[in-house]
Chain A
Amino acid sequence: MSFTGESKGFINYIYERYTNLRIKDITLVFEGQITHQVMKALTGLVEEQLDEVEDDKVLRRVYHVMVESLQNINRHAESYEYRGHPYPGMGLVLVAKNKERFQVTTGNIVENGHAEEIALFLGKLNSMDQDDLDDLYKKQLREGIVSPKGGAGLGFIDIRRKTGNNLDYSFVKIDKETTFFIFTSTISR
């Protein structure tokens, strides 16, 4: 993949990965600024689409994973600059399904240093079993504080423990400062 020259948008960062997946049934795809209002609109859309046709428990989990993932972008995404023009809070979300599972993929820009921290943390979460995850969640709930950005450091932990599935993540380096972070949660149906 090449991102030099004309910008084709964030969707390109995941296009290759997406076409390699055997999931073709797209529930939602969106690229743009992820504001709080946009988060509510997108989660509402998916909720409406899946209501009546999807198992309640699965629907609730897809909804929750979307809320947490999109609020992460809303709070933490670095601004994306193209031709000297900044695009703050830009992100990508793709919700797709097959017979066995839903996948919620998000993409956004992070600082390189932050990318390393995220990779370490998500790797640690993947190596933990359910009891350890529950303990970590409770510890963070008791001891953590809500940051000025509004997060409580609980989102990734809760996605990992509620879905019971490994978190899938990868990074595409953009330049000296920034990296594109791709994060996929899997909800079993």
Chain B
Amino acid sequence: METLLIEQTDDSPRIVLDPVDKLFEISGKSLPEDVLDFYQPVLDWLNDYRKEPDSKTIFNIRLIYFNTSSSKMIMDIFLIFEEMVEEGHEVLIKWHSHQKDEDMQEAGKEFEEMIAVPFEHLTYN
């Protein structure tokens, strides 16, 4: 599969989905005007990847802000991972939050409660 790379803007995150270097990451801010338009290529890519994924996929979420419509799209991404887990593949979501950003840490824990995919919560300074 080809790598999907979307560069960061002032209202949308950087996205790297690179199966060669095994790097899967969303970082930055997410409050695009049209979340469906922005996230559809990501969901399409992951739905393709899901058919023949690596034995273990580590997915990094390193967001500094996301609005509520983006949280819905993040949920949709996690639901694809949930299916991958159900299909016998290993997936780990690494949720990165700023040490002082309790709301972001909370959001990670809340997603973890809702999704049957292992989470690892990390903080940075």
What separation, in Å, do the CA atoms of A122 and B69 have in the docked complex?
A: 19
Task: Judge whether B68 and A56 touch: CB under 8 Å.
Answer: no
Judge whether B46 is part of the interface by a CB distance below 8 angstroms.
no
Task: Judge whether A56 and B100 touch: CB under 8 Å.
Answer: yes
Q: Closest residue to B67 on the A side, CB-wise?
A: A67
Task: Judge whether A71 and B110 touch: CB under 8 Å.
Answer: no
Query: Which of B28-36, B54-62, B88-96 faces chain A?
Result: B28-36
CB B97 to nearest CB in A, in angstroms, measures: 12
- Chain B residues with CB under 8 Å of A155's CB are 68
Judge whether B11 is part of the interface by a CB distance below 8 angstroms.
yes
Q: Closest residue to B75 on the A side, CB-wise?
A: A141
Task: Judge whether A56 and B101 touch: CB under 8 Å.
Answer: yes
Complex interface residues of chain A between 96 and 150 (CB less than 8 A to chain B): 134, 138, 141-142, 144, 146, 150
Judge whether A68 is part of the interface by a CB distance below 8 angstroms.
yes
- Chain B residues with CB under 8 Å of A36's CB are 11, 33
Interface centre among A63, A74, A142 (most CB of B within 10 A): A142
> Number of residues in B with C-beta < 8 Å to the partner?
22
Task: Judge whether B68 and A68 touch: CB under 8 Å.
Answer: yes
Judge whether A60 is part of the interface by a CB distance below 8 angstroms.
yes
- Chain B residues with CB under 8 Å of A173's CB are none
What separation, in Å, do the CA atoms of A57 and B105 have in the docked complex?
A: 12
Give the interface size class of chain A. 20 to 34
- Chain A residues with CB under 8 Å of B102's CB are 57
Q: Closest residue to B11 on the A side, CB-wise?
A: A40
Judge whether B83 is part of the interface by a CB distance below 8 angstroms.
no
Q: Closest residue to A57 on the B side, CB-wise?
A: B102
Task: Judge whether A152 and B11 touch: CB under 8 Å.
Answer: no
Using A56-B100, A57-B100, A141-B75 as known contacts, say yes or no to A134 and B110 having CB atoms under 8 A apart.
yes
- Chain A residues with CB under 8 Å of B110's CB are 134, 138
Complex interface residues of chain B between 65 and 103 (CB less than 8 A to chain A): 65, 67-69, 71-73, 75, 100-103
Q: Write the residues of chain A forming the contact surface with B, with a CB cutoff of 8 angstroms.
A: 36, 40, 56-57, 60-61, 63-64, 67-68, 71, 74, 134, 138, 141-142, 144, 146, 150-152, 154-155, 158, 162
Q: Write the residues of chain B forming the contact surface with A, with a CB cutoff of 8 angstroms.
A: 10-11, 31, 33-36, 65, 67-69, 71-73, 75, 100-103, 110, 113-114
